[in-house]
Structures are given as C-alpha cells and as structure tokens.
A and B are shown apart, each in its own frame.
Chain A
Amino acid sequence: MVNNMNTLFQANKAIIYFIIMALVLIFVGLNQSWALALGIINMSLISAIMALGVNIQWGYAGLMNVGIMGFAALGGVSVVLIAQQPVTEAVDAGGLKMFIALVMGAVTIVTGVLLNRRGVNKWLITSIVVIGYLFTRFYFSEASDLIEKVDPAITGYLGGFGLPVTFSWIIGGFAAALAAWWIGKITLGLRTDYLAIATLGISEIILYVLKNEDWFVRGLKNVYGIPRPVPYEVDMQKSEWFQSLITWIHKSEFELLSQSERIEKLSEYVREAAVVFVKLCYSGLIIAVLVAFVVLSSLALNSPWGRKVRAIRDNEVAASAMGKDIKRQHLQIFILGSAIVGVAGALLVTYDGIFVPAAYQPLRFTFLIWVMVILGGSGNNMGSILGAFIIWFIWIQSGPMGLWFVEMLGNNMQEGSASLEFIEDRVHYLRLVFMGSILLLIMRFSPGGLLPEKNKEL
C-alpha cells in the first residue's frame, strides 16, 4: 500500500507540487487579499520566464550565466526606449550631436576591428582607436550635457520612440541576445568560468551605464509612467459595464442594503475589483508569453536539435568526435536563453510601470533565479516554473516572517533595547544567508531538485 502510494506520488509529483502551491496562494488570497496573491503570482510568472531562460542555458547546456541581472536590465531599458514618448526639445538640443558621437564611436570600433583583421601594425591601430575615442568622447560629453539640461526634473533625456509597449518585449529580447552574442563570441570555447566571470562583469557594467548616463534613461532619477498594455484602474472604476458586472456579482448582498449604503459599498467593491482585474489582465499577458516559451522550448528539446544539445552537455568529447560544432551550439543556446531573460526583463518593467536602475540587485535578479532553477530541477522546464513560484513566495513572505520572528524575540526582551532595534534594522540581510543556504542544501542533498530531469541519460 505504502509502496503503491509512493509510485503514485512519483508519477504525479509535478501535479501534486503545483496543486500544493496553488492551495497556498489561494490561502493567501482568502486570508490576506486577492490583490496580494495576484501580485505574487505575476511576479512568480515573470521570474518563471527568467528561470526558463537560465534553465535553457544551464540545464540544457551547462553554461553558467552569472549576469542574469544585466540581461534583464537590457530588456527593461528597451521598454523605456520603445514605449516612452520622445522628448522633442531634448532631441532638438542634442540629438544630432549624440548621433554623431555614437556613429563616430561605432566607426572607430569597426575600423579598429577591420584593420586588425588585415594585420595592420598594432601601434597604428591603437593610435587610430585612441584618436577616434577622444573625438567621440568630446562630442559625447557636449551632447549629453545639452540633453540633460532640458527640463531635468521631468525629462532630461531623449525619451523613446512612442511605439506600442508590447513591441518592446521583442526588442528587449533582441537587445539581450545581442549582448549575449558578443559575450558568448569572446568567452565560449574557452574555460567555463570565463563565461561566468564575463557575464558577471557585463551585467555590472550595464548597470553602471544605466545609473550614470542620465541622457539615456534618466539614470538614478528613474523613468515613471511607462505606457501600459492593459487598462488603468481609474478608467475601470468609471466604466459602466464594469460597475454593472460588480453589481451583478454582489446582487444578493446589495438587495438587503439601502440605496445610500449600496452606492458606498459598490464604490468600495469596484475599487478593489479594478485592482484585481488589472492584475488579472497582466497575468493573462504574462502567461501567454510563458506558455509560448514553454511550448517552443519543449518542442525544440524533443527535436533532433534538442538531442544534439543534450548529447553535447552529457559528453562533450564524444559529441565533438561525432562532428558536432560545440562552440556554435553553445553560442546558439546562450543567445536563446539570454533573449528569454531579456523578454522577461521587459515584462517586468512593463508590469511595474516604472524603470528604476537602482532596483537591479544581483541578489534579486541573478541569485534568486539561480536558486529557482536549481531547486526546481535543472534541465526541467516545469521544475523551473515550480521553483520560481516557491522561491518567490518564500522571498516575499520571508520579510514579514523575519519581522514576526523579531517580535517573538521582542516579547522576551526589554522594549526598545538596543539589540532589538539592531536586529530589526538588519534582519532583512538574513535573507541572503537563507537563500544561499537553500542553494547549498539542494546542491548537497538533492542535486536533481524537486522535479529532476527525465531521460537524463540518452
């Protein structure tokens, strides 16, 4: 009997885990609020897309991407650049100069690369590149000053193209793919840790650029009011069909109330329902993207291409002896995975409605995603999604839980004692310790994760 139960559990492990997760979220919805539960679900879904991208790199090919943050940030920037309205004044003031500076920079790099291929004297190339750089920098600083002077409190940047925000998701993917191509081209085929170190470096540098170049996306001043692909709560509250829908849902309750009470109650319900409705719209969009990626990647994994990929991962030497081009294959996968992370980064900024460069922390964007992939079971897409839900839930709830823990301590300590304040102030740093420990424990005791990859051995 026990044995039977066990096999049943093994066969339906994924379903059981997902049902438990759903029950927990329903519990949050009933006890705390549906808006909160949906918020957790949406963030989990976006993280799941990122985890999927990382799983493709790590689980399918064993490529270490320690710069997930940077690729996500590139996706986020694309949203600003595509969806925001252009700032015409700033474009008039310094747009042309900035364009010249960027073209000069590009020409310098291309000339340098081309001359290097021709085998021209290294010193000559270096001096050409240095002179090109100095000219670029001269134009560049002048242009950025001009742009940043235009109404710095509100704009002070060039703005975007004013195109539909959904289009920016695709561009976000391409931006991340381009960066991945560049990094991959240099580091793949060398040692595995070179890729890890290079991705770590590029992600920090992307963030430095975003924080410091105010003319680009306003730097630390943040970009607010990014256009939405879904309706605004305020509009929903005003729309008649939505009001009548809410009235219809609460019909039985309203019948018992007087007219004035009914109007008051209705506006309260409408306000709450509008928040939930908007979140649901987002969920729908994100789920559509997630499902598309899951379907495409599992189709790919079960195709001859996917078998080749796994063969390379499991035994590089043998695959290479069979005539597979390993570097090319790794580059493909690295670009694909990073593009998915870029799309998720774009979704995240669209969902938040603001772009905050300072919010990109390696812990939140790189490490958490890693823990999701490894907890879920590297190589298994369903595992990554499950991992995303579990880890994001723990991450969100560990804040309140830490405070609760401090309060428990506080009951046994004197009110306002120095050590209690100290702990309250710092308790959120323990989340780093906690997440690090989860990663180490899974690696040590359950390397396959919750849902280990099937058919691991070909």
Chain B
Amino acid sequence: MSDSIDIINALALMTNFVILPALSYGSQLALGALAVTLVYSILRFSNFAQGDSMAFGTMLVILISGYMISKGWTITGFPTAILAIPLALIGMSIYLLTMDRLVYRHYRKIKAKQNIVGITASIGVMFVTGGIVRFILGASAQRFGDGERFIFSVREFKAFTGLEQGIAFKTSQFLTITLAILLVAFLFYFLQKTKTGKAMRAYSDNTELALLSGIDPDKVVQITWLLVALFTTIAGTLYGLDKGFAPQQYHLLLLPIFASVIVGGIGSPIGAIAGAFLVAFSEILLTYAYKKFLIYLLPLSMHPSSLVQLIGTEYKYAISFVILVIVLLIRPTGIFKGKVIDGE
C-alpha cells in the first residue's frame, strides 16, 4: 500500500463498498416503500405485512426457479430467479387478492376506521404469511442466485484500469438498479398517463368524489393489489439475490421500509423513493469502517489504528429508527409533505 495521498483509489474503494451497495439496497427499499405507499394511498392503512409479503413473493420465485433449474430451463449466465418472476407474479397476485377478499374487503364495506383496523388486520396477515413461508422454506438463511455473479469482478477491473483498489459490479446490483428504474418509470407513466392510473389518483385524493364520477372502487383496489404484487415480488427477489433469503431478515425490512415512507412523506411516491435512498445511504455510510479509506487519503503519520466505524453493523436497523425519530421531531410531514394526521 502506498504511503502517499491517493484520491482515485479512495474513490474506487468508496464506490465498491458504499455507493454501489447503497444504490442497490436503496432501490430494493424504494420498491418495497412504493408498495406500502400504494396500499396507503388507496386502501388507507399502513401495511405491516409488507416485509413478510416480500418473503412470500421471494419464496414463490425460489420454488419456481428451483423447478426450472431441475428441468434445465435456464439461460447460461443469467439468474434463473429473474426468469421465474412472471410466474411468481401470478401466484403473488392471487395470494394478495385472496387476502383482500378474505380480510380487508369486509372493513372497506363496513367503513371501519380503516387505518387502525387495517394495521391490526395486516399484522394478522403478517403472521399468517410469515408462518406459511417458514413452514415451506424453513427459517434458516439460503442463497438462490445462479448464473454469472459479476458483470465485472475486482480482478477484471484491476486488470482493465491498473488501479490498486478494485471495483466489483455484481449482477444482482446491475439487475436491481435497472429493474428499479424500469419499474418506477412504469409506475409514474401508469399513474400519470393511463385512464386507470388517473382513476387511482382520483380515488386516492377524494374517494367520495371519485365514486360519484363513476369510478369502480373494486377495480381500483384490484389494480392496486396487482401493482403491489409486482413491486413486492421484484423487491423481495432482488433483495434475496443480493443478500440471501432469510424470513426473519425480510420481516425486519419493515423498519427501513416504513422509515423510508415516513421520511419521504407518507402517501407520496417520489417521497418514498427519496426516503429509501436516504435510509440506505445513511445505513451504509454510518456502519462502514473508514480505516482503509482514510489510509488512502491521509499521510502515513495520521493513519488510523482502529476501524473508524461510527456504528457497529449489528445496529443498522437502529439507524432507520433514529432517522424516523428525527423526522418525526423536526418535520413530521416528511420531505415531500405527506399526510400527518389521520384524515377520515
């Protein structure tokens, strides 16, 4: 390791260990947070089952891709899990629509206080879903990614640029960022330009008025669940490809996802995305050990001896929580002015 100041290698190091992981983690959170936002805007409750629903979607992907691999229906180098998404999506849609039919619809019909009842019901759904996932796949962690692991690896990058510090670009990171951009673009196009999307926004803004103008509420709710299925399945699969699948881990994702939604302003899609990246970057920046980074940047005499880590990795979920608390204290509406008080 050189003893002079080395900005380029320091930047490469940051890109490899902070920027790329945070971008992909942020994208996964953003997709989850958008699903929560959709449920919130149309069905008017905070969906506590989101984390476990993501686990359910991922479970379907794991099962289907496992079958596809056993049959040899794969594309060399490409993760089979991604190919399995369309089929899993059908299963997930059926699951969510069934849950809506069995659980949530009743409370819409009797016009219950949807937020409180919805939260309680979604906690019930959360445990049912979590139980099914653990029964089928077990509670232990597993990996299901196959195909090429890297778009380019550390070694290839070093050989190409001649830098001492390499950057690896994982396939899962590439897929995450690409799919997230596509999905978000699709969602905004759908909400802004299509008739159904406009109906959904109208329904979200003023339900009574939307009903008067002939919007079919059942259809709006169904479309919402279909969109939620899309975002949930893909977010879960991408997270699993990146970090492995473990039901408890997915369950705990609820915390950063809610933090993202509230930081961004509850009910605001753009807010959810911004919040997700804020949470992801804070989590990774605060738990990263800066020792090597500082060694690149500081002269030899000032090299740190400790890890220079601000917060231990075991407390990464505490960071989402602290962000949440700070936002509630300083700006309860979130960055993009969401709804602060229950509007009935």
Q: Which chain A residues have a beta carbon within 8 Å of chain B's beta carbons? A: 62, 64, 66, 137, 186-187, 190-194, 196-198, 200-202, 204-205, 208, 211-212, 362-363, 367, 370, 374, 425-427, 429-437, 439-440, 443-444
Contact = CB atoms under 8 A, between A and B. Distances in A.
A208 B318 contact: yes
B113 to A, nearest CB: 9
Given A193-B46, A426-B134, A436 B124 contact: yes
A201 B320 contact: yes
A401 to B, nearest CB: 16
30 contacts: A62-B116, A64-B119, A137-B310, A190-B328, A190-B340, A191-B341, A191-B342, A193-B45, A194-B328, A196-B119, A198-B325, A201-B317, A201-B321, A202-B321, A204-B317, A204-B321, A205-B315, A208-B318, A362-B251, A367-B127, A370-B120, A426-B136, A426-B138, A427-B135, A433-B132, A439-B120, A439-B123, A440-B124, A444-B103, A444-B106
Contacts of A429: 131, 134-135, 139
Given A197-B324, A205-B318, A370-B123, A190 B332 contact: yes
Contacts of B121: 440, 443
Contacts of B132: 433
Nearest to A193: B46
B31 to A, nearest CB: 19
A361 to B, nearest CB: 10
The 10 closest A-B pairs by CB, nearest first: A432-B131, A436-B127, A433-B131, A436-B128, A201-B321, A429-B134, A439-B124, A193-B46, A440-B124, A429-B135
Given A208-B317, A436-B127, 8 more contacts: A191-B340, A191-B342, A197-B262, A201-B255, A201-B259, A426-B135, A426-B136, A444-B103
B11 to A, nearest CB: 23
B212 interface: no
B48 interface: yes
Q: How large is the interface on B (under 10, 10 to 19, 20 to 34, 35 or more residues)?
A: 35 or more
B120 A212 contact: no
B136 to A, nearest CB: 8
B117 interface: yes
Interface of B: 45-46, 48, 102-103, 106, 115-117, 119-121, 123-132, 134-136, 138-139, 251-252, 254-255, 258-259, 262, 266, 310, 312, 314-315, 317-318, 320-321, 324-325, 328-329, 332, 339-342
Given A64-B119, A201-B321, A194 B127 contact: no
A440 B131 contact: no
A203 to B, nearest CB: 10
Contacts of B262: 194, 197
Contacts of B45: 193
Contacts of A201: 255, 258-259, 317, 320-321, 324
Given A193-B119, A201-B321, A208 B314 contact: yes
B120 A433 contact: no
B254 A200 contact: yes
B325 A186 contact: yes
A196 B254 CA distance: 12
B135 A205 contact: no
A190 B324 CA distance: 13
A191 B134 contact: no
Report whether over half of chain B's contact residues are helix, strand or loop; otherwise say mixed.
Answer: helix
Contacts of A427: 135
Given A198-B325, A201-B321, A205-B317, A433 B135 contact: yes
A367 B125 CA distance: 12
A199 B136 CA distance: 30
Contacts of A187: 328
A208 B315 contact: yes
A66 B119 CA distance: 10
B248 to A, nearest CB: 10
A313 to B, nearest CB: 11
Contact of B115 (A193, A212, A434, A443): A193
Nearest to A427: B135
A366 to B, nearest CB: 9
A433 B324 contact: no
A367 B341 contact: no
B123 A367 contact: yes
Contact of B125 (A62, A370, A440, A444): A440
Taking each of B103, B117, B135, which has the highest tally of chain A beta carbons within 10 Å of its own beta carbon?
B135
A186 B317 contact: no
A64 B117 CA distance: 10
Contacts of A437: 124, 128
A198 B128 contact: no
A192 B116 contact: yes
A68 B255 CA distance: 16
A443 B331 CA distance: 35
B131 A200 contact: no
A431 B132 CA distance: 10
A121 B120 CA distance: 42
Contacts of A64: 116, 119-120
A193 B129 CA distance: 21
Nearest to A371: B124
Contacts of B48: 66, 196, 200
Contacts of B254: 200
Contacts of B139: 429
Contacts of A430: 131, 135
Contacts of B318: 205, 208
A435 B128 CA distance: 8
Contacts of A367: 123, 127
Nearest to B308: A134
Contacts of A200: 48, 254-255, 258
Nearest to B332: A190
Given A64-B119, A443-B121, A212 B314 contact: yes
Most chain A CB within 10 A, of B116, B119, B121, B123, is at B123
B319 to A, nearest CB: 10
Contacts of B129: 436
A433 B320 contact: no
Contacts of A212: 312, 314-315
A429 B310 CA distance: 37
Chain A CB within 10 A, most for which of B138, B325, B340: B325
Contacts of B341: 190-191
Contacts of A444: 103, 106
Contacts of A435: 127
B198 to A, nearest CB: 27
A187 B103 CA distance: 28
A446 to B, nearest CB: 13
Contacts of A363: 127
B46 A196 contact: yes
A425 B137 CA distance: 11
A79 B284 CA distance: 35
Contacts of B126: 436
Given A197-B324, A201-B255, A443 B117 contact: yes
A296 B170 CA distance: 61
Contacts of B138: 425-426
A444 B341 CA distance: 26
Contacts of B314: 208, 211-212
A208 B102 CA distance: 36
Contacts of A433: 127-128, 131-132, 135
